[in-house]
Amino acid sequence: MIEFRSVSASYDAETPVLHEVSFTIEDGDFVAFVGTNGAGKSTTMRLMNGLLEPTAGEVLLDGTPTTQLRTSQLAARVGFLFQNPDRQICCNTVRDELLFGFKAQGRADAQAEAKVDAIIERFGFDADAEPFLLNRGTRQLLALASIIVMETPVVVLDEPTTGLDFRECAKVMDVIAEMHAQGTTVVMVCHDMEVVGDYAKRVVAMTAGRVVADGLTFQVLRDPAALHAAHLLPPQVSQISMMLVERNAELADTAIAQANTVEAMLDAMQEQEEAVSHG
Amino acid sequence: MAKFLEYVPGDSFLHRMNPVAKVLCALLISIACFCTGNLIFLVAVLILDFVMAARCGMARQAAGLAKAVAIFSILLALIALLGTPRGPVLVTLPWGYIGIGSIVAAITVIMRLVACAIPLFLVMYVTQMNDLANSFCKIVHVLYKYAFTFTSAVHFIPVFMNDMSGIMEAQTARGVAFDGGMVKRIRLMVPLCVPLLISSVRKTNSAAIAAEVRGFNLRTCQSGYKDYPFTGLDVRAIVACVLLVAVAIVVNVLVPPLF
Ligand SMILES: Nc1ncnc2c1ncn2[C@@H]1O[C@H](COP(=O)(O)OP(=O)(O)OP(=O)(O)O)[C@@H](O)[C@H]1O
Ligand SMILES: [Mg+2]
């Protein structure tokens, strides 16, 4: 569990970047942080593994303040994907890169090697390739894979899909969804509302260093005040569901008013049709 | 917060001086420092440095610089300490001795480097890189290509420092503990030079291409709108610095060394 208690933060004494941010992320949750450029999303992420210390308030990881632990110690519990994969990649081969985390934490044993081999197989990497010569999408995927392979209970992902084409984006998100299905807590920053609508269970919207909305994905993506405050354009499915409810108030209590994804919308409409034909 | 070697806006006399005059004065002050080994003179120059820095609100940066340069020059000071047997003997060494004169020599090395480095770095804080490149181009007729190369090199220093700290953060987040002894720290940092180098080459390459497609080669010394005339202030400053060099030479000739 990650708990923010009135956390303020800044990079230098003069300009505060976060103002009294509070929220709790339960184990096994899938939370997306959304908001404008410079809203403080990356800053919030950095607070979660102690890369940054709050100037006021507390960040608790399973009840322990992050200030009591070093980031290198937290690494065993929180996997962190940076916005820029090139900051993270530092080894000469894909295989070494995937093993790096284990080596850093002193856990590079046969078990670790087996995990690395499995993930190379699964992502279809070339184990001996030079990471810096891979294309942008594959570098991003490699950075993500080197976080996943550590199997930390929490992963924090700063814009895992930015700059990827649709196919690569779907590949990355499917891996993340699978991790979540297996019980990993996922915290993700994302600018793509379609991705947020499709995958996240909960959305926290930020503007200018403050949380302006925090709730289930379908609630936040339909909350006009939150959308306006965080300058968000909801996914098209949410827009359609909003319009449908606007035209026909009776739908407000049905699944149509809660659908974020195309599948959910289809199911909801079918259900509604059946209800109408029976009723 | 002001970054390392990054322009700090202001309206002090140093800000208002001509960029070429600033560089010339800084060089003259450095030359003066090397013209004499008189400790009192060097301390006076150091005080002058700090007065100038304080006048343009940069005392904090100057103090930081002084500290950095002093640490940097410790090695040289050590060589001076061990290799200048002078004055009353304090410790005998297999090849000579350390005397009071040796200590003075070591302090002089540090003082000299700090006193001559501060003005040179101060120039960066009070001059916009564009002005520096353009004025050298217009007044000294340095080819813009070279002026630009210099200014972008300086400009990239904070960028690289930022990159390096970002890369170190990324490795910390994966469990690398960057603390403990110096040797261990350096061993951990060596592999990080790869991503730093790669990101630098990528950045430099794309910056060069971006400059090229924007017509960089068409640029001549006459391309700038702004003129950089010398004013009375510049002339007075240069004359003062020339006098400083003269004083340094005179001191060196007339005042005998302490030991
Ligand atoms: N290392 C740093 N030093 C100083 N200020 C910083 C630093 N990193 C970020 N900031 C500032 O903090 C504020 C919040 O930045 P942050 O990176 O958290 O935003 P963000 O929500 O992640 O934006 P984006 O969507 O562009 O990634 C910005 O105003 C930014 O300029
Ligand atoms: Mg960010």
**Alpha-carbon gap, residue B131 to B232, rounded angstroms:** 19
**B163–A88 C-beta distance less than 8 A:** no
Model confidence at B142: pLDDT above 90: no
Using the Cβ of A80 and the Cβ atoms of chain B, whether some distance falls under 8 Å is answered with yes
Compute the distance from residue B70 Cα to the ligand 2 centre, in Å: 38
pLDDT band at A154 (very low <50, low <70, confident <90, very high): very high
Compute the distance from residue A39 Cα to the ligand 2 centre, in Å: 8
- Asked whether residue B31 falls in the same domain as residue B124, the answer is yes
- Asked whether residue B234 falls in the same domain as residue B196, the answer is no
β partners of residue A156: A80, A187
Residue of A234, A223, A202 lying closest to A33 (CA atoms): A202
What 3-state DSSP class applies to B58?
coil
What is the DSSP annotation of A208-262?
Answer: TTEEEEEEEHHHHTT-HHHHHHTT----HHHHHHHHHHHH-GGGGGSGGGG--SH
**A71–B172 C-beta distance less than 8 A:** yes
Residue B258 has what pLDDT?
Answer: 66
Compute the distance from residue B13 Cα to the ligand 1 centre, in Å: 34
**A14–B175 C-beta distance less than 8 A:** no
**Alpha-carbon gap, residue B172 to A69, rounded angstroms:** 12
- Asked whether residue B214 falls in the same domain as residue B234, the answer is no
Rounded to the nearest angstrom, the minimum Cα separation between B59 and chain A is 18
Q: Return the CATH number of the domain spanning residue range A2-89+151-232.
A: 3.40.50.300
Cβ of A38 closer than 6 Å to ligand 1, yes or no, is yes
Residue B201 has what pLDDT?
Answer: 82
- Asked whether residue B214 falls in the same domain as residue B253, the answer is no
Residue A55 has what pLDDT?
Answer: 93
**Alpha-carbon gap, residue A212 to A22, rounded angstroms:** 11
Cβ of A40 closer than 6 Å to ligand 1, yes or no, is yes
Q: Is residue B115 assigned to a domain?
A: yes
The percent of residues above 90 in pLDDT, for chain A, comes to 54
Model confidence at B2: pLDDT above 60: no
Using the Cβ of B190 and the Cβ atoms of chain A, whether some distance falls under 8 Å is answered with no
Question: Which residues, 6+ apart, have CB-to-CB distance to A279 below 8 Å?
Answer: none
- Asked whether residue B128 falls in the same domain as residue B66, the answer is yes
- Asked whether residue B93 falls in the same domain as residue B210, the answer is no
Residue B156 structure tokens: 């990239």
**B176–A90 C-beta distance less than 8 A:** no
Cβ of A17 closer than 6 Å to ligand 1, yes or no, is yes
**A49–B173 C-beta distance less than 8 A:** yes
Residue B170 structure tokens: 């990324």
Domain count, chain B: 2
Model confidence at B1: pLDDT above 50: no
Compute the distance from residue A41 Cα to the ligand 1 centre, in Å: 8
Residue B259 has what pLDDT?
Answer: 65
Cβ of A37 closer than 6 Å to ligand 1, yes or no, is yes
Q: Which of A237-251, A253-267, B176-190 has the lowest mean pLDDT?
A: B176-190
Rounded to the nearest angstrom, the minimum Cα separation between A44 and chain B is 15
- Asked whether residue B194 falls in the same domain as residue B235, the answer is no
Please name which ligand lies nearest the alpha carbon of A17. 1
Round the CA-based radius of gyration of chain A to a whole number and report it.
Answer: 20
Compute the distance from residue A243 Cα to the ligand 1 centre, in Å: 35
Residue B97 has what pLDDT?
Answer: 86
Residue of A197, A180, A192, A271 lying closest to A240 (CA atoms): A197
| In contact, B111 and B66? CB cutoff 8 Å | no
Closest CA to ligand 1's atom 25: A37
Residue type, B186: I
For residues A108, A113, A118 and A123, what is the CA-based torsion angle, rounded to 10 degrees? 70
- Asked whether residue B209 falls in the same domain as residue B239, the answer is no
| Domain limits for position B254 | 1-132+226-259
Q: Is residue B138 assigned to a domain?
A: no
Q: Which of residues 101-160 of B touch A (CB under 8 A)?
A: none
Residue A97 has what pLDDT?
Answer: 92
Model confidence at A8: pLDDT above 90: yes
Model confidence at A278: pLDDT above 60: yes
- Compute the average pLDDT of residues A228-254: 89
- Compute the average pLDDT of residues B7-34: 89
- Asked whether residue B68 falls in the same domain as residue B154, the answer is no
**Alpha-carbon gap, residue B147 to B135, rounded angstroms:** 9
Q: Is residue B70 assigned to a domain?
A: yes
pLDDT band at A266 (very low <50, low <70, confident <90, very high): very high
**pTM for the full predicted model:** 0.76
| In contact, B84 and B101? CB cutoff 8 Å | yes
Contact list, A91 vs chain B (CB under 8 Å): 191, 194
Crossing angle for the helix pair A136-148 and A94-104, to the nearest 10 degrees: 30
> Which residue is it, tokens 């919030």?
A44
Q: Is residue B82 assigned to a domain?
A: yes
- Asked whether residue B121 falls in the same domain as residue B148, the answer is no
Closest CA to ligand 1's atom 29: A38
**A101–B175 C-beta distance less than 8 A:** yes
- Compute the average pLDDT of residues A170-196: 93
pLDDT band at B3 (very low <50, low <70, confident <90, very high): low
- Asked whether residue B52 falls in the same domain as residue B160, the answer is no
- Measured between its terminal Cα atoms, the distance across chain A in Å is 45
For an interface test with A, which of B174, B178, B202, B206 has the most A Cβ atoms less than 10 Å from its Cβ? B174
Residue of A110, A163, A118, A156 lying closest to A139 (CA atoms): A163
Contact list, B179 vs chain A (CB under 8 Å): 70
Q: Is residue B137 assigned to a domain?
A: no
What confidence tens digit (pLDDT) does each residue in B60-93 have?
888 888 888 898 888 889 988 888 888 888 888 8
What confidence tens digit (pLDDT) does each residue in A65-100 have?
998 888 778 888 999 999 888 888 888 899 999 999
β partners of residue A187: A31, A156
Using the Cβ of A49 and the Cβ atoms of chain B, whether some distance falls under 8 Å is answered with yes
Domain ranges of chain A: 2-89+151-232, 235-279
| ipTM reported for the complex, 2 dp | 0.77
